[in-house]
C-alpha cells in the first residue's frame, strides 16, 4: 500500500479539532454578546444597575438561539475543511484563506436552511393570510428578510473565527508532517543495529 501524497491527503481528525475550537469560541462570543447587550440595554432603560437582574434570563434565551445557528454552521465548516475544500499543509496562505471563505459559505448555507425550516415550522406571530384567504406576499418578504438578516449577522460574527481556525489548522499540519496519513513508518531495527555495528 502506497502512502497518500501530502498534497492530496485529507485530515478529518485535525479538521474536527479546528471546527470544535471554532464552535466553542463562536458560542462563547455569541452568548456573551447577547447577554451583555440585554444587560446594557436594561441598565440604560432602568438607569441603574438593575440590568444585571436580566443576565440569567438573557443567558437562557441566548444559548438556544446561538446553538440553533452555530451547530449547523460548525457542521458546514467541518465538511468543508474535510471534504469540500480541504486544507492541506502544502498550500499557500492565500489558498487557505480562500478555503476558509468556502467553509464560511458552506456553513452559512446549512445554517440558513436549518433556520428556514425552524422558522416555517414554528408559529410565526404574523398571519400570512389576508381577509379573503389568499396568502399575503408581505409574509414571504418578512421571512426572506429575517433569513437574510440572520445570515449576515452569522457571517459577520463568525468569519474571522473561521479564518483563524483554518489558518491554525494549516499551521498545525504544516509544522507537523508526521501527523495522520503523512506519518512515515519508522524502519524496523536490523540485526546490525541490535549488535551495535
The answer to whether residue 187 is domain-embedded is no
Range of the domain at 21: 12-179
pLDDT at 136 over 80: no
Domain assignment present for 188: no
73 in any annotated domain? yes
Tally of structural domains, the chain: 1
159 within domain boundaries = yes
| Residue 194 falls inside a structural domain | no
- Indicate the pLDDT class of residue 21, thresholds 50, 70 and 90: very high
* pLDDT level of residue 175 (50, 70, 90 thresholds): confident
Q: Return the pLDDT at 61.
A: 72
pLDDT value at residue 116: 84
148 found inside a domain: yes
- CB neighbour list of residue 169: distance below 8 Å, 6 or more residues apart: 11, 14, 15, 17, 18, 81, 87
pLDDT tens digits for range 36-95: 776 767 666 666 566 567 666 777 777 777 888 889 999 999 999 988 888 888 888 899
Size of the chain in residues:
197
Q: How far apart are CA 188 and CA 197, in angstroms?
A: 16
Amino acid at each position: 500500500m502506497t502512502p497518500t501524497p501530502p498534497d492530496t491527503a485529507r485530515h478529518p481528525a485535525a479538521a474536527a479539532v479546528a471546527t470544535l475550537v471554532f464552535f466553542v469560541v463562536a458560542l462563547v462570543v455569541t452568548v456573551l454578546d447577547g447577554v451583555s447587550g440585554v444587560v446594557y440595554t436594561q441598565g440604560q432603560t432602568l438607569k441603574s444597575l438593575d440590568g444585571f437582574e436580566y443576565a440569567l434570563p438573557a443567558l437562557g434565551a441566548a444559548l438556544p438561539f446561538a446553538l440553533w445557528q452555530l451547530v449547523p454552521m460548525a457542521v458546514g465548516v467541518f465538511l468543508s475543511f474535510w471534504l469540500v475544500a480541504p486544507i492541506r499543509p502544502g498550500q499557500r496562505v492565500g489558498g487557505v484563506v480562500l478555503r476558509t471563505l468556502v467553509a464560511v459559505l458552506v456553513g452559512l448555507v446549512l445554517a440558513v436552511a436549518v433556520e428556514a425550516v425552524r422558522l416555517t415550522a414554528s408559529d410565526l406571530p404574523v398571519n400570512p393570510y389576508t381577509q379573503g384567504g389568499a396568502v399575503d406576499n408581505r409574509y414571504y418578504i418578512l421571512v426572506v428578510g429575517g433569513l437574510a438578516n440572520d445570515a449576515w449577522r452569522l457571517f459577520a460574527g463568525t468569519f474571522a473565527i473561521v479564518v483563524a481556525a483554518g489558518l491554525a489548522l494549516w499551521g498545525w499540519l504544516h509544522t507537523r508532517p508526521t501527523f495522520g496519513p503523512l506519518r512515515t513508518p519508522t524502519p524496523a531495527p536490523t540485526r546490525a543495529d541490535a549488535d551495535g555495528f
